[in-house]
Amino acid sequence: MLLTVTTTHEPATDLGFLLHKHPDRVQQFRQAFGTATVCYPQASAERCTAALVIEVDPVRLARTVGRGSPDFSLSQYVNDRPYAASSLLAVALGDVFSTARAGRCAARPELADTAIPLEIDIPVVPCPGGPAFAERIFGPLGWRVDARPIPLDPDLAQWGDSRYVRLSLCGTLRLADALNQLHVLLPTLDESKHYWQGSDEVDKLLRSGAGWLARHPEREVIARRYLGRHGSLTHAALARLAELGDDVPESLDPPADEDAEDGAAPPDVSASGRTELAQPRVALPPNTQPLNLQRHDAVLGVIADSGARSVIDLGCGPGALIARLATQGQLRRIAGTDVSTRSLHIAARRLHLDSMSERQSGRIALFQAALTYEDPRFAGYDVAVLMEVIEHLDPSRLDALERVVFGAAAPGMVIVTTPNREFNVRYAGLTGPRHPDHRFEWDRTEFAEWAARVAAAYGYHVTHQGVGPSDEALGAPTQMAVFTHE
């Protein structure tokens, strides 16, 4: 099994930094099922290719197959697993390039964050749906897809094509995104499921899919094939994707400032409103909006009722709420801040900040900051929003955030939303938090106690409401507290 990654972004040998594998060396990595080798067939300043070669040891492979491994009968790997790229290649790629997938690169941090020209080549990959299916899976992500069916026997054309294709992908993407996409999507090309399944498989899918899966038109097929026959896991993954909305891979970003031990949560997500995914398994009236949009509506409603003229979105992520705030004519000043520069870049792109009229762009400011450090730029707004942010902070850093937001910035109103943990039983198959990056999730009592304590300490009055379809016993999926300065 072979996969090559090529870039022409000069100096192309920087690919070695991004992959954390030196172009001059041949490196081997032991896998549960064999050996993965990384080497560079070419490495010049103009063009550099890294190859990942997997050799499967059928004996070792057989030993790794436990009773819990679904869909992994002897016949399957005896047939083609050692030769055809599929889930084993995806697993090896995930493992060998884990740092690169996380977008971490101390030597070339900006490059890790930059979309660069990439060519991916996989000589043999099982793809029973043929070129059209490969296009459906990779095309929406911006890849130019060239999938050529491999004939069963080149000398016997009448036998027709095999279920394998040679897959070439060309595109301009962040290397981390490309690797995460391959990690998730290679096994989905093949109907026989991904064989590597643990209880945290949904979390892994959400993590690898951050930034692209929620918007992928084939996300249902992808989740179903990635998670295999566990229908409940697929359902949970889709419900959580819907809740998170247009998530972006900041969760994979390196901390903005290595020294700032601000608990700056590897951030995760935001919402664009483009998703129409499944909702949590609750009785919903037809046409109910995804939860992330309901959250926006709730926050926008409170802001409109308050008569505010200026709003700051703290932990704005990729700017979905800011985009909606920008349409509110009564708002004279809008700011968004986040610890993740990558999120802010996406927000700026989404808002078309560079092509806005001066009057419009003067109204909107985006800046990078950590919410656990006092910053004069946080002050002077009528309303501050903390939408799905506090649960990303380490509990030990919450007091710093309280001082910074309620103490120092002290806006007239603070709107805080956070998941209601009690509601999580409604997400089939969910055992941990809704998103792997959440440091905690509060039940309604815990949130109310926190809010009451903060309000008393900083001179605010607080009210609560639920957002989303409410359950009599469990409450609503999202809880919202509105603090008004006394």
Tell me which residues touch ligand SAH (CB under 6 A). Answer: 250, 262, 264-265, 267-271, 315-317, 320, 338-340, 343, 370-372, 387-389, 392-393
- Three-state DSSP class for 323? helix
**At closest approach, how far in Å is the CB of 337 from ligand SAH?**
7
Q: How far apart are CA 84 and CA 184, in angstroms?
A: 16
Nearer to ligand SAH, 207 or 230 (CB): 207
The DSSP string of 366-405 is EEE--TTS--GGG-S-SEEEEES-GGGS-GGGHHHHHIII
Q: How far apart are CA 275 and CA 282, in angstroms?
A: 18
**At closest approach, how far in Å is the CB of 468 from ligand SAH?**
14
Of the candidates 415, 160, 241, the residue with the CA atom closest to the CA atom of residue 313: 415
Phi, psi of 53 (to 5 degrees): -115, 130
**At closest approach, how far in Å is the CB of 389 from ligand SAH?**
4
**At closest approach, how far in Å is the CB of 253 from ligand SAH?**
8
Nearer to ligand SAH, 22 or 403 (CB): 403
Handedness of CA 421, 426, 432, 438 (dihedral sign): negative
Strand order in the sheet with 161-173: 27-31, 34-43, 48-56, 2-7, 116-126, 161-173, 144-151
* Sole residue written with tokens 């930059």: 114
Nearer to ligand SAH, 85 or 347 (CB): 347
**At closest approach, how far in Å is the CB of 91 from ligand SAH?**
29
**At closest approach, how far in Å is the CB of 401 from ligand SAH?**
7
Please answer whether residues 311 and 383 qualify as being in contact, where contact means their C-beta atoms are separated by less than 8 angstroms: yes
- Three-state DSSP class for 216? coil
Integer-rounded Cα radius of gyration of the chain: 24
- Checking phi first, is residue 160 left (phi over 0); if not, alpha (psi -120 to 50) or beta? left
Nearer to ligand SAH, 171 or 315 (CB): 315
Nearer to ligand SAH, 199 or 368 (CB): 368
Report which secondary-structure segment, H or E, holds 225: helix 219-227
**At closest approach, how far in Å is the CB of 93 from ligand SAH?**
27
- Three-state DSSP class for 68? coil
Whole-Å CA distances, 287 to 216, 284, 296, 333: 20, 8, 17, 33
Phi, psi of 309 (to 5 degrees): -110, -15
**At closest approach, how far in Å is the CB of 392 from ligand SAH?**
4
**Cβ partners under 8 Å of residue 304, min gap 6:** 328, 330
- Three-state DSSP class for 273? coil
**At closest approach, how far in Å is the CB of 300 from ligand SAH?**
12
Nearer to ligand SAH, 228 or 267 (CB): 267
**At closest approach, how far in Å is the CB of 260 from ligand SAH?**
8
Nearer to ligand SAH, 165 or 386 (CB): 386
- Three-state DSSP class for 88? helix
Nearer to ligand SAH, 54 or 252 (CB): 252
Nearer to ligand SAH, 208 or 337 (CB): 337
Nearer to ligand SAH, 19 or 370 (CB): 370
Nearer to ligand SAH, 20 or 345 (CB): 345
Of the candidates 432, 325, 316, 309, the residue with the CA atom closest to the CA atom of residue 366: 316
Q: Which residue has its beta carbon closest to ligand SAH?
A: 267
**At closest approach, how far in Å is the CB of 310 from ligand SAH?**
18
Tell me how crowded residue 450 is: count the other CB atoms within 10 A of its CB: 19
